[in-house]
Structure 1
Amino acid sequence: MTGGGKGDGTGDRTVTDEVVDSLRGADDPRLRELLTGLVRHLHAFARETRLTQREWERAIAFLTVTGKACTDTRQEFIMLSDVLGLSMLLEMINDRHGPGATESTVLGPFHMTESPGRELGADIDLVGGGEPCVVSGRVLSRDGGALPGATVDVWQADGHGFYDVQQPGVQPPGNGRGLFTADGDGRFWFCTCVPSPYPIPTDGPVGGLLRATGRHPYRPAHIHFIASAAGHIPVTTHIFVAGSEYLDSDAVFAVKPGLIADFAPVDDPESAREFGVANPFRHARFDLVLEPA
């Protein structure tokens, strides 16, 4: 039983102490550690801000509608984690990649469906309407060696800033997505369109939170990657289009300078024929460097 302190239980024994004590029987020590930290920080937050009952009820209601907004093709809780910077913080805390390896960044809320397997050089832009682009690079180990047979999972929004799962019936499933296998020299390449900046969905509770705090919902233009190879730590990352709007104010705080790539203009009919794209086009070169496991 708590001590005789008034209001937030500041006596010799607080409700926080009682809750922490109640967790001592947890069989999993990591679960006990996580819940103990959560309780202590959550209770400290309530004390520090003098949280009212009405405010806590509104918070519970917000979390409830956030859960109800989640579907098979939309993950509102991931967006909430993203806009609060927690997703990016976790990436930084858990980053195991050493100097020279490709930096990781957030997964984002749209890796909701399996990318279709595609041949090297395939065009993942199935709807057109964007500026033609080629993305190429190599998958390498941090010592510089090629990683033949590495897998490169790619997904992006279309030229208008929408993912396929956001526009069923408009975009075919798998538009802007591809799962590629690097060749014997670790090389990969594919055709697509230059991505554009876009807003994260704002028609749900996360959008309401952004409006309430005076924040914009926009992300700079980018392409997502997950690269993996035997004996190496997979990396989840983006490449951001150099010069894009919102590089300095990404709604999910995911931009790192080393992930900004130049989508260089190319006016060369022979190169266009080689890659199977219209001329002129843009070409982004970006190597994916993995840390040995």
Structure 2
Amino acid sequence: MSTPFLSEDQLAREVELIERVERSFDRADNARLKQIMQALVRHLHGFVREVRLTEQEWNTAMQFLTDCGRTTTDKRQEFILLSDVLGISMQVISVNNEAYRDATEATVFGPFFVQGAPLIGHGGDMAFGAPGEPCWVVGRVSDTDGTPVQGARIDVWEADEDGLYDVQYNDARTSGRAHLFTDHNGEYRFWALTPTPYPIPDDGPVGRMLSATGRSPLRASHLHFMVSASSYRTLVTHIFVRGDQIGWADSVFGVKETLIKDFTRHPAGTPTPDGRELGQQTWTDVRFDIVLAPASA
């Protein structure tokens, strides 16, 4: 929108207020807190001035934030969801995971990670009965010099074919999540489910905002990874399915080109790499080689 002509008096009033609010934080003992609060003031006031926010629009925004607070529970964080759909979560991740040589890129953590996921061995099944098409996942964890990382912990979790994580059910099940460790060659392998698209929770204020702005709540099909090892930067990332119907329209902007992988589908009856009998089920396989940045990067 075009900025209306403002008189010198009006401009001076607006700038004076910004400066006065900024100065109110001058005596903050914490220098970092002072920096953050003064920058926040400048950017928020800049937004209000750029769009010439009306009082009715301000009231609507306050009600929206109030609704986000009322929707938030110990199992649902509407403010994080808001941060996700505005791309703020991804920007914070980008700022805090600077590019380092060929280290694997990070992406959003998501709200469904759970501590204490079951341990599985190499070739184990992290689905634990969750419905979906089996997927054989293999890869190698190395550093940026190509040296394998032995004993790296890999946490993996995903939604089932109905688009739900285990914590979204009411029966205390544990499924679609596990952890395992890389072998002496830095390699790993396990059975998962072929990822499918699913919507973020859209029955609250964030969902209403997406609907009002013509945006979809759907997330691109993905499988979560968190990889940690001593002396390396912990990596939180996903892999995405090449050709996925959602793709770059992912509602939380998590997709990155380097994380899009080929999930090859095999007809029912095709022998599996580990001899697992799948009967008349189709299955897929994917390879995801992971490169960790040093902790100091």
* TM-score w.r.t. length of structure 2: 0.89
Is the alpha carbon distance of 1:26 and 1:274 closer, same or farther for their aligned partners in structure 2, counting shifts above 3 Å? same
Q: Distance in 1 between matches of 2:233 and 2:177?
A: 22
CA distance in 1 between partners of 2:14 and 2:286 (Å): 63
CA contact (8 A) 1:101 1:291 kept: yes
CA 1:17–1:143 in structure 2 vs 1: closer, same or farther (change >3 Å)?
Answer: same
User: Match for 1:71 among 67, 70, 73?
Assistant: 73
Change (3 A) 1:112 1:247: same
After superposition, where does 1:106-125 map in structure 2 within 5 Å? Answer: 106-125=108-127
Deviation, 1:226, is: 0.9
Q: Secondary structure at the match of 2:47?
A: helix
Q: Residue in 2 aligned with 1:217?
A: 217
SS at match of 1:251: coil
Q: For residue 196 of structure 2, what is the aligned residue in structure 1?
A: 196
Equivalent residue runs for 1:156-235 within 5 Å = 156-169=158-171, 172-235=172-235
* Correspondent of 1:134 among 136, 146, 156: 136
What is the CA–CA distance in structure 2 between the aligned matches of 1:58 and 1:90, rounded to whole Å?
A: 27
How do residues 1-293 of structure 1 correspond to structure 2 at under 5 angstroms?
10-11=12-13, 14-169=16-171, 172-266=172-266, 272=272, 274=274, 276=276, 278=278, 280-293=282-295
2:212 is matched by which residue type in structure 1? A
CA drift at 1:112: 4.9
**Kept after mapping to 2: 8 A contact 1:74/1:112:** no
SS of alignment partner, residue 78 of structure 1 = helix
1:163-211 per-position Cα deviation (integer Å, ceiling 9, x unaligned)? 1122222xx5331111211122111221121111111111111100100
* Cα distance in structure 2, aligned partners of 1:61 and 1:188: 48
Gap change, CA 1:209 and 1:218, over 3 Å in 2: same
* Secondary structure, counterpart of 2:61 in structure 1: helix
Letter in 2 for 1:181: F
Alignment RMSD (CA, Å) = 2.3
Task: Name the % identity.
Answer: 43
Moved more, 50-59 or 220-229: 50-59
In the alignment, structure 1 segments of 5+ residues that lack a partner are none
Provide Cα deviations, 1:241-277, integer angstroms capped at 9, x if missing partner: 1111111211111111110111113469795272635
Which has the higher mean CA deviation after the structures are superposed, 245-254 or 49-58? 49-58
Distance 2:109 2:275 in 1: 28
Q: 1:275, 1:235 → 2: CA distance?
A: 31
TM-aligned CA deviation for residue 283 of structure 1: 1.0
SS in 1 for 2:208: helix
